[in-house]
C-alpha cells in the first residue's frame, strides 16, 4: 500500500470490498459527490471507528445522504451510532448560479434548497434509520451543545473559507483521544479544487494533535488519527491559513 506525505498527492489504492453489492447499489443510487473508492475508504474508517467503541461517529455535511450510507453501513454491525449534521439548505457551492447547483432540490414554495427529504428517504431505503441520526441545524450551533467524544469526525460541509474553518474549530476538539478525523476534498494542487479543506487538513497536522493515516486515505479523502492522550489537549488554533 502506498503512503503519502502531508503535501503530496494520494494514490487510489485497491481496497478490500467491504460493502455488499446491495449496499453499493443503494449508495450509487443516492445523490452526492463522493467517488466509489473514496466512499469505500470512508466506510473502512467507519468500521474501525465503530469497533474502537470510543464514542459515536459524526459527519458534518449530509447533503442527500450518500456519505451517511457509507458511514452507517460501516458502523451498524458494531452497534455504533452515526450522527449526520446539516442545515439542509445547501452549501454556498450548491446555490443557484454555482457549479454544483441542482434545481430539483429547490423547494417550490420557499425557493430555498431542501435536501432533508432525500436524505431521509436514502436512510429509509438502506434500513439505516436506527443507525444514522439526522441532526438538522447549523453545524456550529449543534457543536456548541455537543459533549460526547467522537470515535470518528468526518468534515465535508461547506467548502468556503469561513464555513470550513468554523466547522474545524467547533468540532475537532470533540474527537476522542485515539479517534479519527476524516476530511473530504483535500487537494494539495489548487488546480484540482478549493483550498479550505486542504488548509484545515494541514492545520490538523501542524497542531501535533493528529497524525496522518495514509493506509486509510484515498484520493481527496484524508484520514488522520488523534495523537492526544487526554481530553485536556489544547483547542485548535483560531488563526486562519498562513497565520
DSSP calls for 190-205: TTTS-SHHHHHHHHHH
Residue 16 burial (10 A CB sphere; 0-12, 13-18, 19+): exposed
Residues 43 and 71 sit within 8 Å (Cβ to Cβ): yes
Would residue 232 count as lying in a domain?
Answer: no
Q: For the chain, how many structural domains are there in total?
A: 1
Would residue 116 count as lying in a domain?
Answer: yes
CA distance linking residue 173 with residue 72, whole number of Å: 23
Nearest alpha-carbon partner for 66 in 29, 101, 104:
29
Which residues carry out catalysis? 159
Residue 230 pLDDT: 55
Would residue 2 count as lying in a domain?
Answer: no
Would residue 231 count as lying in a domain?
Answer: no
pLDDT digits (tens, 9 = 90+) for 39-94: 999 999 999 999 999 999 999 999 999 999 999 999 999 999 999 999 988 666 65
pLDDT digits (tens, 9 = 90+) for 92-150: 665 455 455 566 667 667 767 889 999 999 999 999 999 999 999 999 999 999 999 99
pLDDT digits (tens, 9 = 90+) for 152-170: 999 999 888 999 999 999 9
CA distance linking residue 120 with residue 33, whole number of Å: 18
Instruction: Specify the CATH number for the domain of residue 124.
Output: 3.40.50.150
pTM of the predicted model as reported, rounded to 2 decimal places: 0.83
Residue 226 burial (10 A CB sphere; 0-12, 13-18, 19+): buried
Nearest alpha-carbon partner for 78 in 96, 94, 55, 60:
55
Residue 228 pLDDT: 83
Q: Across residues 173-189, what is the average pLDDT?
A: 97
Amino acid at each position: 500500500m502506498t503512503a503519502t506525505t502531508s503535501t503530496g498527492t494520494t494514490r487510489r489504492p485497491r481496497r478490500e470490498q467491504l460493502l455488499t453489492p446491495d449496499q453499493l447499489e443503494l449508495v450509487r443510487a443516492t445523490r452526492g459527490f463522493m467517488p466509489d473508492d473514496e466512499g469505500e475508504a470512508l466506510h473502512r474508517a467507519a468500521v474501525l471507528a465503530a469497533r474502537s467503541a470510543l464514542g459515536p461517529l459524526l459527519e458534518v455535511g449530509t447533503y442527500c445522504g450518500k456519505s451517511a450510507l457509507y458511514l452507517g453501513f460501516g458502523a451498524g454491525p458494531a452497534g455504533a451510532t452515526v450522527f449526520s449534521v446539516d442545515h439542509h439548505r445547501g452549501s454556498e457551492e450548491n446555490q443557484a448560479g454555482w457549479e454544483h447547483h441542482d434545481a430539483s432540490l429547490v423547494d417550490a414554495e420557499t425557493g430555498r434548497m431542501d435536501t432533508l427529504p432525500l436524505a431521509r428517504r436514502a436512510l429509509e431505503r438502506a434500513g439505516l434509520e436506527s443507525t444514522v441520526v439526522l441532526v438538522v441545524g447549523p453545524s456550529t450551533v449543534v457543536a456548541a451543545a455537543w459533549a460526547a467524544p467522537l470515535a470518528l469526525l468526518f468534515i465535508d460541509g461547506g467548502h468556503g473559507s469561513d464555513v470550513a474553518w468554523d466547522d474545524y474549530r467547533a468540532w475537532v476538539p470533540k474527537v476522542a483521544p485515539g479517534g479519527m478525523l476524516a476530511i473530504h476534498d483535500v487537494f494539495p494542487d489548487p488546480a484540482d479544487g478549493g483550498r479550505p479543506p486542504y488548509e484545515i487538513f494541514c492545520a490538523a497536522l501542524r497542531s501535533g494533535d493528529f497524525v496522518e493515516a495514509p493506509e486509510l486515505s484515498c484520493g481527496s479523502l484524508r484520514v488522520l488519527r488523534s495523537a492526544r492522550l487526554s481530553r485536556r489537549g489544547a483547542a485548535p488554533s483560531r488563526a486562519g491559513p498562513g497565520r
